[in-house]
Amino acid sequence: TDEALDRLARAPATARFISRKLAVYFVADEPPPALVDRMAATFTRSDGDIAATLQTLFESREFAASLGRKFRDPVHYVVAGVRLAYDERVVLNTTPMIGWINRMGETLYAHETPDGYPLNEAAWASAGQMNTRFEIARAIGTGGAVLFRTDDKAPLEKPPFPPLAESRAVHALQPGLSADTQQALAQAKNPPEWNTFLLASPELMRR
């Protein structure tokens, strides 16, 4: 059995398959073939060392050029939104986050086949999906304090929304926002609406 696994791990097709999977996850839906070739060469040379293969990826010009372009699947979208909204706070109640992820169709550990959920934009960018993301952005932006309430009957902290406009992370992010997003934020009537518009912006859909 070990010999069979060794033969499979050292097959050229395995090196390319794993390298492409990693490149799709981190770089692009259709990763550059030259990047996949270099990663596969590292995989083969290092006898299947994933860390070395990832180092080739992360040090590549293709990875640097991809930052901010890869579309977020539901798990990435929810986690990124909560992290931006609440920075270093530890979530005490993960039930809302799990519910949001479920609503977008990426229920944790529920994919029927072992290949995992798709990570390409086409799988997660439908009109219905984007409408659901706006609703989740509103939930985080207007009542995200539910994430820190361990008892359903306990009152929410006040205010129940994050002060995103005052966040250092958001200040660093704002210069890269498009004119349309800046205009939408300027038209927000109150802080919760401002939060919602930011969390639902096109820029927050990508990583």
Please identify, among 66, 87, 105, the residue that sits at the C-terminal boundary of a domain.
Answer: 66
Pair (12, 110) in one structural domain: no
Domain of 155? 74-205
DSSP 157: P
Pair (127, 198) in one structural domain: yes
Pair (78, 175) in one structural domain: yes
Pair (192, 95) in one structural domain: yes
**Measured in whole angstroms, how far is the alpha carbon of residue 24 from the centre of its chain?**
13
Pair (79, 30) in one structural domain: no
- The number of distinct structural domains making up the chain is 2
> DSSP string of 34-97?
HHHHHHHHHHHHTTS-HHHHHHHHHTSHHHHHHTTTSBPPHHHHHHHHHHHHHTTPPPS--HHH
Pair (26, 120) in one structural domain: no
What separation, in Å, do the N-terminal and C-terminal C-alpha atoms of the chain show?
40
- Please list the pLDDT of the chain residue by residue as tens digits (207 residues): 677 766 777 788 999 999 999 999 999 999 999 999 999 999 999 999 999 999 999 999 999 999 999 999 999 999 999 999 998 899 999 999 999 999 999 999 999 898 889 989 999 999 999 999 999 999 999 999 999 998 888 888 899 999 999 999 999 999 999 999 999 999 999 999 999 999 999 999 999
Pair (123, 40) in one structural domain: no
Pair (91, 148) in one structural domain: yes
